[in-house]
Amino acid sequence: MVIATTALLISCATNGLPAYDERPYNHPMTLVKAASPDYVINDYESFALYEAPLLVDESDLGNVRMGDGYARLYRTKDATYLSLDYYTPENKWFYCFNSGKRIIDEDTGDEYWIRNVENLPFDTCCFILGAKGRYVRFILEYPPLPKRVKKISFFTPGGPSRDTFDGSATRYGPFEVEKMRKKRTPGSSIKPRIIE
């Protein structure tokens, strides 16, 4: 027991991070209008509408640039979470999350498929209202990454396209897992700086 505890403390001292993170903070959005039963990607009127997303201060954005957003990784015992912070240029802006998203271990090629996007459905475009000029935070859940995983990429397969969204496959990375995690001092809060 003493040896295991010592090894854990040495590991934490080496990279400055604990073995596991707290699960990232989030809160539910308000559904204003459900998606139409006849949803199609080219019909804006068929999209769901949400408001009151989690808005984060620019000083607390994720620490890795990924496409048009900022990302941060959280390792927990039961899951790996990815926070994505996207700037919203208009008062009504669409988002869509593909169910084929996955984390790829750069050393082995092992894939960890997305389990959930908190508050939103997969494979369906929706509008977020009332976030113009702010960063909206989304939380994605993946299976837990083994400790041996050191470098990862994020892959999204191609999907349906529309006038302002071509549906192309994307791959971001490789990123070092430990550099994607949030450095915290003992006792500091996992809750981001929220804009009310």
Residue 60, domain CATH: 2.60.40
User: Mean pLDDT lowest for which of 5-9, 53-57, 70-74, 96-100?
Assistant: 5-9
| pLDDT tier at 11, thresholds 50, 70, 90 | very low
Q: Average pLDDT, stretch 131-150?
A: 96
Residue 192 lies in a domain: no
Q: Tell me which of 107 and 3 has the higher pLDDT.
A: 107
Residue 182 phi/psi, 5-degree rounding, is: -85, 125
The verdict on residue 195 lying in a domain is no
**Mean pLDDT, residues 33-53 taken together:** 94
Is 6 within a domain?
no
Count of domains observed in the chain: 1
> Could you tell me where the beta strands, DSSP code E, fall in 15-89?
30-33, 48-51, 55-56, 64-66, 69-75, 80-88
- pTM across the whole model: 0.83
Q: What is the SS3 assignment for 49?
A: strand
- Of the pLDDT bands very low, low, confident and very high (cuts 50, 70, 90), residue 27 is very high
Residue 7 lies in a domain: no
Structural domain of residue 44, as residue ranges? Answer: 20-180
